[in-house]
Amino acid sequence: MSRIQEPTLATHARYPEHPLRIATVQAQAAAGDISANATTAAELIREAAASGARLVLFAEKFLSGYEPELISSDPLKYAVQPGDPRLAPIAEACRDTGTAAVVGAAVQDGPDLRVSALVFGPDGSSVTRYDKQHLFKAERDYYRPGTNGCTLELDGWRLGLGVCYDSGFPEHARAAALDGCHAYLVGALFSVGHGHHESRTWFPARALDNTLYTVLANHIGTTGGWHTCGGSAVWSPDGRLLAEAGEDRREIVLADLDPVVLRTTRETEPLLADFAARLPAGPRAKFTLG
């Protein structure tokens, strides 16, 4: 007899044994200049590594700036290509320092363009890329959405990846948490005004809903016509703000993800475990009043 499979936490999910220092960074991206932005990224990786960071997170499409019209006008020039030699400074910085990096890029994938997070290992290798699954408004005119989530493992920590608008959908971070992730890392573009409000609503909510750390890397300055709001930040598993950058300056924000805090929060706030163990939702009763 068949039965419904209930949502469960990944059986391989364990608590990490040691803290993990993560850096979320922000800097002005040069429009369309992948080589210059890769050099900036390498500098930031080296600076963050000197302060003990094991992983450095960058904003959405940092390697070209946001710039959808510019990128689509000449993808060979303004999008990252397979085996792109312009990324060598990033690989070298990771290899020299033993630091991993997640760097936002527009990527040419055959005939399609993707909004991606490129993952570099501590040995400088190109590990994988995550493609943004939830495209925002006009992005759909230029890009194709990704179809798969992505979980990284580093020093016993499981890290789920997202890109900007992904973080507005509770199901996206929940999928990472159910895969055993301890943190949710998102490179984004949030603008002044409503964008800032969204980021300060979504990220603490995703943290508390799933009792995991959330990490945001945002742009500063103007890119792709958007006046961005900086504020790259880290939230604890109970949704409280741990560390935050300013709104308009180049900055590295460091935070230690602590396994004791993670475990204590999940024991105190059993939202994730209770969700995973709940019975499947039954049919809804509907009534008309009056």
Task: Give this prediction's pTM.
Answer: 0.94
The sign of the dihedral angle between the CA atoms of 68, 207, 23, 118 is negative
Report, as an integer, the average pLDDT of 209-216.
98
Decide: 174 and 166 in contact? Cβ < 8 Å: no
The distance from CA 126 to its chain's CA centroid, rounded to whole angstroms, is 17
pLDDT the model gives residue 48 = 98
CA-derived radius of gyration, the chain: 19
Q: What is the CATH superfamily name and number for domain 20-276?
A: Carbon-nitrogen hydrolase (3.60.110.10)
Q: Up-side HSE of residue 119: CA atoms within 13 Å toward CB?
A: 18
Would the pLDDT of 67 be above 70?
Answer: yes
Task: Tell me the sheet residues that pair with 113.
Answer: 108
Please tell me the distance from the alpha carbon of residue 29 to that of residue 65, in angstroms, as a whole number: 5
Would the pLDDT of 282 be above 80?
Answer: no
- Maximum Cα–Cα distance for the chain, whole Å? 71
Report, as an integer, the average pLDDT of 230-256.
98
Running DSSP on this structure, what letter comes out for residue 63?
A: T
Report, as an integer, the average pLDDT of 211-228.
98
Instruction: Give the count of beta carbons closer than 10 Å to the beta carbon of residue 3.
Output: 6
Instruction: Give the count of beta carbons closer than 10 Å to the beta carbon of residue 231.
Output: 23
Would the pLDDT of 247 be above 90?
Answer: yes
What amino acid occupies position 278? R
Decide: 166 and 142 in contact? Cβ < 8 Å: no
Report, as an integer, the average pLDDT of 208-214.
97
Q: Which two tokens stand for residue 2?
A: 């068949």
Per-residue pLDDT band for 253 (boundaries 50, 70, 90) equals very high
pLDDT the model gives residue 4 = 38
Report, as an integer, the average pLDDT of 209-226.
98
Please tell me the distance from the alpha carbon of residue 13 to that of residue 156, in angstroms, as a whole number: 10
Residues in contact with 198: Cβ distance below 8 Å, sequence separation at least 6, in sequence order = 168, 190
pLDDT the model gives residue 283 = 80
> Which range has the worst mean pLDDT, 18-22, 238-242, 278-282?
278-282
Q: Using one digit for the tens of pLDDT, what is the confidence trace for 2-53? A: 333 445 566 445 899 999 999 999 999 999 999 999 999 999 999 999 999 9
Decide: 22 and 54 in contact? Cβ < 8 Å: yes
Residue 213's closest CA among 164, 157, 175?
157
Percent of the chain beyond pLDDT 90?
A: 89
Q: Using one digit for the tens of pLDDT, what is the confidence trace for 107-126? A: 999 999 999 999 999 999 99
Residue 60's closest CA among 20, 23, 102?
102
pLDDT the model gives residue 221 = 98
Per-residue pLDDT band for 1 (boundaries 50, 70, 90) equals very low
Would the pLDDT of 137 be above 60?
Answer: yes
Per-residue pLDDT band for 286 (boundaries 50, 70, 90) equals confident
Average pLDDT in the chain: 94
Q: Using one digit for the tens of pLDDT, what is the confidence trace for 153-203? A: 999 999 999 999 999 999 999 999 999 999 999 999 999 999 999 999 999
Please tell me the distance from the alpha carbon of residue 206 to that of residue 173, in angstroms, as a whole number: 6
Would the pLDDT of 278 be above 60?
Answer: yes
Report, as an integer, the average pLDDT of 267-284.
82
